[in-house]
């Protein structure tokens, strides 16, 4: 009889687990507000923390190097930079706009570098200027052909190397940014940020 | 000893009642089983809309149907494919990306789902797709990006294909499916368009190896286009020994070199032909002579579909080119299920034994409870017929170098004996120098 009781208890436990499983699926959405600076890694993929690490490193590096002083000394004005293409050569669909925007903001706010609108942004501005020509009051109208030509172009790549084995994965990201002089193709600054992660995935889940 | 007595006295006292009930059970079962359909049976309205060449309506039907959370990946895969057929490439990739993320979340075996699959059926497990379906997910995402002319994004998918295949090779024996020839070939074309010669060469080489295996396993010939690619790139990279070997193997002495090809553009035409085989259920029901209870074992099998089109012919101006099979999805699907059958069968048998045990326990408590449990056991024993049913049966393709310009391309779909089954005009195909223009055409026969 004991064996029989044990089995029927087992049966009850299994049914309970099944019922629980059904209920667990029906939980409601919950939202927790987080600080934008808080580190939270979920899947191991590129996330906001990586983007922030890259922008912090790059901003600090680009402002402290000699290209800036040399340019100001020689030209007696601040350099103007345009954002060119940042190529994503990684294995993930990475949004590069986040750290590029961070860099732009920090550089403009430093008061040492000026930015002009990039290729994708400026078409909108040109359309508006054309529109002003037709519709705006004469004293507020902006003339064509007065744009500032950039002195440097910011270009870059994101590369990754992934080494998966079983449940583990090493992900190595390398972000390279370069400032290229528009006048003579000189590379005046190369910034690099490396990020390495070990992602372990569980063999079991609930 | 005590237990056996208990069984005997219990069943001995209720034989007439149990006999009548069992008869009733049989009738109820046949009625209920008819009403409780497997996944592939419930999918047929969507297929019918596809056969009527109405992917938009098929999508509406698909979205209207409720599905459990465990089938989310399946829903997203089908949704992505239907959106793609309706030329909604961006929305299609959103669905595919969501499917990909869900598959990654579902990595690892679930304890509760394993328990449920041993107790109820295999369909209670979360669907993550077979290995080949996971690779094709990346392939179709890459194609979506290519058709939107987002080469860098397509390259991301090319890298993910490589990682996925490496993962698969770790836990699947090589004899089944560890390399995807067309996925490798497509990644090669992506690298080549970007001018990454060495990566392209490696990908073409891997595609060549994989096609050699495809030839033995599924009877897919090595596409002649790939042969020209291997010749062109090994020449470009100065791999003289390899070039000589390819020349000998392929018996080709003339080809277009890299520089001359880059002055031209290229049309890559793909025919996504028909629908992939669908999983059906085959079951055996028997009365256990020892206990008088019903036992049912259900197993899935692939049912191939009609494939009336055997190739397509592309006519551009005076030129014409015939497509070749790039990926025999029907063959791959059937072979990979075959490889999984021993495990599926073992699970089904173990489940039948367990279910029989539970029914016996319940019967010992009360004869009606025993019958009810037996009924539920038999009813829930359904084969897992979930598969990415909107995949094509096979993919044909052709590469056609063309000078830059706008073209109208005539596509003839050829049946057996090269009889023209249908023609279609593709107008306004733009070819740019040094670029590849991808064009996909999904064709589903009106009789499946």
Judged by CB atoms closer than 8 Å, whether chains meet at A201 and B108 is answered as: yes
Strand order in the sheet with A152-165: A114-116, A80-89, A152-165, A168-181, A187-200
Instruction: In whole angstroms, give the CA distance from residue B302 to residue B277.
Output: 6
pLDDT confidence tier of residue B30, bands split at 50, 70 and 90: low
Question: B193, B435 in Cβ contact below 8 A?
Answer: yes
**Contact check, Cβ <8 Å, B112/A18:** yes
- Token output for B326: 């790039």
Q: What is the pLDDT of residue B33?
A: 54
Contact state of A88 with B108 under an 8 Å Cβ cutoff: no
Query: Token digits for A10?
Result: 């087992």
Please name every residue paired with B155 in a beta bridge, in sequence order, or none if there are none.
none
What the block records as the tokens of B203 is 């990908």
B361 and A4 in contact by Cβ < 8 A? yes
- What residue spans of B65-180 are helical by DSSP H? 72-85, 89-105, 111-119, 131-147, 151-171
Residues of A with CB under 8 A from a CB of B: 1, 3-4, 7-8, 11, 14, 17-18, 21, 25, 43, 87-93, 160, 162, 164-167, 201-206
**Residue B16: pLDDT over 50:** no
More confident residue, B40 or A140: A140
Contact criterion met (CB < 8 Å) for A17 and B115: yes
- pLDDT above 90: residue A74: yes
Mutation pick from A1, A3, A4, A169 vs chain B, by most beta carbons of B within 10 Å, is A4
Q: What is the pLDDT confidence band of residue A205, given thresholds at 50, 70 and 90?
A: confident
- CA atoms of B356 and B62, how far apart (whole Å): 37
Label residue B2 by pLDDT band (50, 70, 90): very low
Length of chain B counted residue by residue: 448
Which residue is associated with the tokens 């049913």? B389
The answer to which of A3-7, A146-150, B166-170, B409-413 has the lowest mean pLDDT is A3-7
pLDDT of residue A206: 76
DSSP strand pairing (B278-287 vs B265-273): unpaired
For chain B, the average pLDDT equals 87
Categorize the per-residue pLDDT at A37 as very low, low, confident or very high, splitting at 50, 70 and 90: confident
Contact: A204, B111; criterion CB under 8 Å: yes
CB contact under 8 A, B170 and A11: no
> How far is B381 from chain A, CA to nearest CA, in Å?
17
**Please, which pLDDT band fits residue B21 given cuts at 50, 70 and 90?**
low
| A18·B361 Cβ contact <8 A | no
pLDDT at B122: 87
Write out the H or E segment, with its range, that includes residue B337.
Answer: helix B329-365
Pick from A18-22, A170-174, B162-166: least confident: A18-22
Distance CA A87, CA A146 (A): 30
Question: pLDDT-based confidence at B366, cuts 50/70/90?
Answer: confident
Residue A11 reports pLDDT greater than 50: yes
A204 and B107 within 8 Å at the Cβ level: the answer is: no
Bigger pLDDT: A17 or A66?
A66
Strand partners, A193: A175
pLDDT given for residue A170 in this prediction: 92
Question: Per residue in B301-320, pLDDT tens?
Answer: 999 998 899 999 999 988 88
* B29 — pLDDT class (breaks 50, 70, 90): low
Test B108 with A165 for CB contact under 8 angstroms. Answer: no
Domain covering A44-200 in this structure, CATH number:
3.40.50
B3: closest chain A residue by CA: A1
CB-nearest to A206 from B107, B111, B152 is B111
Tell me how close the Cα of B29 comes to any Cα of chain A, in angstroms. Answer: 23
pLDDT on residue B288 = 83
* SS3 (DSSP) at A154: strand
**pLDDT tens for residues B208-267?**
999 999 998 888 899 999 999 999 999 999 999 999 999 999 999 899 999 999 999 999
Report CA B132 to chain centroid distance, whole Å.
6
Token code pair at residue A1: 């009889």
- Rounded mean pLDDT of B188-214? 94
Closest by Cα among A91, A103, A92, A195 to A156: A103
Q: Is the pLDDT of residue B31 over 80?
A: no
Q: What average pLDDT is seen over chain A?
A: 85
Asked whether A180 and A186 are in contact (CB, 8 A), the reply is: yes
Contacts 24+ apart (CB under 8 A), B365-370: B365/A8, B367/B10, B367/B11, B367/B14, B367/B17, B367/B18, B367/B21, B368/B21, B370/B293
Residue-wise pLDDT tens digits, A89-137: 999 988 888 888 888 888 889 888 999 998 888 999 999 999 999 999 9
A-B C-beta contacts closer than 8 Å:
71
Q: pLDDT (tens digit, 9 = 90+) per residue, B379-430?
A: 888 899 999 999 999 999 999 999 999 999 999 999 988 899 999 998 889 9
- pLDDT grade for B114, boundaries at 50, 70 and 90: confident
B97-109: average pLDDT: 90
Residue B160 pLDDT > 80: yes
Provide, rounded to the nearest whole percent, the portion of chain B with pLDDT above 70: 92
Write down the pLDDT at residue A20.
Answer: 52
CB A62 within 8 A of CB A103: yes
All residues of chain A having their beta carbon less than 8 Å from the beta carbon of residue B360 are none
pLDDT at res. A164: 84
Under an 8 Å CB criterion, which residues of B touch A?
A: 2-3, 68-69, 97, 101, 104-112, 115-116, 119, 152-153, 155-156, 159-160, 162-163, 166-167, 170, 358, 361, 364-365
| Nearest CB neighbour to A7, from listed B68, B167, B361 | B361
A4, B364: Cβ pair inside 8 Å? yes
8 Å CB contact of A21 and B361: no
Tokens for B105? 């979340």
Q: Give which of B159, B170, B377, B380 to mutate to test A binding, by max A Cβ within 10 Å.
A: B159
Question: Measured between CB atoms, which of A4, A43, A87 is closest to B152?
Answer: A87
List of chain B residues whose C-beta atoms are within 8 Å of the C-beta of residue A91: 156, 159-160, 162-163
Domains in chain A: boundaries: 44-200
pLDDT of residue B9: 32
Mean pLDDT, to the nearest integer, of B96-116?
88
What value does the mean pLDDT take over residues A40-51?
85
CB contact under 8 A, A203 and B106: no
- pLDDT tier at A35, thresholds 50, 70, 90: confident
Q: Is the pTM of this model over 0.90?
A: no
């Amino acid at each position: 009889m004991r064996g029989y009781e044990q089995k029927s208890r087992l049966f009850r436990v299994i049914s309970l687990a099944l019922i629980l499983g059904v209920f667990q699926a029906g939980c409601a959405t919950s939202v927790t507000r987080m600080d934008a600076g808080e580190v939270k890694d979920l899947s191991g993929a590129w996330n906001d923390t990586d983007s922030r690490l890259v922008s912090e490193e790059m901003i600090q590096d680009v402002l402290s190097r000699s290209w800036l002083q040399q340019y100001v000394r020689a030209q007696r004005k601040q350099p103007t930079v345009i954002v060119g293409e940042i190529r994503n050569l990684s294995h993930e669909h990475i949004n590069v706009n986040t750290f590029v925007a961070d860099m732009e903001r920090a550089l403009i706010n430093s008061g040492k570098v000026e930015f002009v609108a990039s290729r994708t942004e400026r078409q909108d501005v040109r359309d508006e200027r054309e529109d002003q020509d037709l519709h705006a009051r004469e004293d507020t109208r902006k003339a064509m052909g007065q744009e500032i030509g950039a002195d440097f172009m910011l270009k870059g790549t994101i590369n990754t190397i992934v080494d998966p084995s079983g449940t583990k994965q090493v992900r190595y990201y390398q972000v390279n940014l370069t400032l290229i002089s528009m006048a003579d193709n000189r590379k005046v600054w190369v910034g690099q940020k490396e990020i390495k992660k070990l992602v372990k995935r569980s063999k079991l889940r609930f | 000893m005590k237990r056996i007595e208990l069984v005997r006295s219990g069943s001995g006292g209720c034989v007439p009642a149990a006999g009548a009930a069992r008869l009733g059970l049989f009738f109820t079962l046949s009625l209920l089983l008819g009403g409780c359909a497997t996944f592939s049976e419930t999918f047929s309205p969507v297929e019918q809309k596809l056969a009527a060449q109405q992917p938009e309506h098929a999508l509406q039907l698909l979205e209207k149907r409720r599905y459990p959370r465990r089938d989310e990946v399946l829903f997203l895969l089908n949704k992505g494919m239907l959106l793609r057929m309706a030329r909604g490439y961006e929305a299609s990739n959103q669905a595919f990306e969501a499917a990909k993320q869900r598959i990654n979340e579902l990595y690892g075996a679930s304890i509760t789902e394993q328990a449920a699959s041993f107790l109820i059926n295999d369909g209670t497990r979360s669907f993550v797709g077979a290995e080949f379906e996971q690779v094709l997910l990346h392939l179709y995402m890459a194609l979506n990006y290519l058709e939107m002319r987002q080469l860098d994004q397509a390259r991301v998918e090319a890298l993910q294909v490589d990682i996925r295949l490496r993962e698969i090779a770790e836990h699947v024996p090589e004899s089944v499916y560890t390399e995807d020839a067309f996925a490798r070939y497509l990644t090669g074309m992506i690298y080549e368009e970007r001018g990454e010669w060495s990566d392209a060469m490696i990908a073409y080489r891997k595609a060549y190896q994989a096609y050699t295996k495809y030839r033995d396993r599924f009877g897919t010939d090595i596409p002649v286009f790939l042969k020209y690619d291997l010749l062109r790139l090994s020449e470009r990279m100065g791999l003289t020994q390899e070039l000589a070997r390819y020349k000998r193997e392929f018996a080709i002495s003339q080809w277009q070199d890299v520089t001359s090809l880059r002055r031209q553009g290229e049309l890559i035409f793909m025919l996504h032909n028909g629908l992939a085989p669908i999983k059906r259920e085959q079951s055996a029901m028997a009365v256990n002579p020892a206990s008088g209870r019903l036992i049912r074992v259900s197993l899935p099998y692939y049912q191939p579909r009609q494939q009336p089109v055997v190739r397509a012919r592309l006519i551009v101006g005076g030129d014409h080119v015939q497509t070749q099979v790039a990926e025999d999805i029907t063959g791959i699907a059937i072979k990979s299920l075959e490889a999984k059958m021993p495990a599926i069968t073992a699970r089904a048998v173990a489940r039948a034994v367990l279910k029989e045990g539970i029914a016996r326990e319940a019967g010992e408590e009360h004869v009606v409870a025993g019958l009810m449990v037996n009924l539920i056991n038999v009813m829930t024993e359904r084969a897992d017929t979930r598969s990415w049913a909107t995949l094509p049966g096979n993919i044909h393709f052709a590469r056609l170098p063309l000078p830059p310009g706008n073209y109208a391309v005539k596509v003839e779909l050829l049946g057996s004996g090269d009889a023209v089954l249908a023609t279609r005009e593709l107008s306004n195909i733009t070819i740019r120098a040094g670029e590849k223009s991808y064009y996909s055409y999904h064709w589903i026969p009106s009789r499946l």
